[in-house]
Amino acid sequence: MITKNTLAVSRPLPLQGAKNVRDLGGYIGTGGVATRRGAFLRADSLGRLSEQDRQALYQYGVRCVIDLRSEQELQREPNRLKGYCDIEYENISISDGVQSSGLQGNDFPPTMADLYIGLLDSAGPSIYQVMQTALRHPRETVLFHCSAGKDRTGTVAMLLLELCGVSEEAIIADYVATEIYMKDLFASQKAQMEALGMHVPDYLLQAKPQDMARTLQHLHHRYRSAAGYLAEIGLSSEEIQALQRKLIGE
């Protein structure tokens, strides 16, 4: 049985139909206090969850799912937690121009850092909605996800962890873990796309530390911090503090 107390930091929950569902708890934040397990789960696509997986996530405490994918992605792979029991489901699309477009064409960002910086600077209204949705569930587990749990999900996870004073090293490690856990799936996806005559740069299916490091550098240079960023996109100081309490505790 999955429990909040036995999950190792950054290790995926043992699910059959998703490979990158991880708790943001267990990282050391402000004042040496660890982030709380069961506050947030970051995840890849939930379209292949088994019935056992759905039950396990519900038992874990998930009562809110924030789906960051586009309408096109939703049509390709519907969310298996939408309409399940009393879970609140919200689709708040954060377009990354890559997975959300089905990886069509060759208009790719020069680096993944460029993509993440672009998300921060242009997706403020969507990220604002994500945080407002999470605030409606101060004591329940909020799961947010995209297709691979790497880019859009990684950007939101970075903001939440930085907000709670988690070190840059730990934030980068949390991001890089996706490449480890999704390696086989990424290799399969690349082979399938190449079989269709599509050229996909290797870095699009990687999670390199330098990309998250550069994203954090941009966050600190332009917004000072995650708190500064969230204030700029419209959250009040009380709402920002409430997010911190959700993840770091009282």
- Specify the residue for token string 């880019």: 151
Paired strand residues for 143: 41, 65
Rounded Cα–Cα distance for residues 74 and 47 (Å): 9
- 64 annotated active-site: no
Contact present, 108 and 98 (Cβ < 8 Å): yes
Contact present, 237 and 141 (Cβ < 8 Å): no
Contact present, 20 and 148 (Cβ < 8 Å): yes
Contact present, 107 and 74 (Cβ < 8 Å): no
Please pick, among 64, 85, 146, 164, the residue that the annotation labels catalytic.
Answer: 146
Q: From residue 127, how far is each of 20, 83, 85, 153 by CA, in Å? A: 21, 23, 26, 11
Contact present, 98 and 151 (Cβ < 8 Å): yes
Query: Could you please report the per-residue DSSP string of 134-199?
Result: HHT-SSSEEEEE-SSSSSHHHHHHHHHHHHTT--HHHHHHHHHHHHHHTHHHHHHHHHHHHHTT--
Catalytic annotation, residues: 146
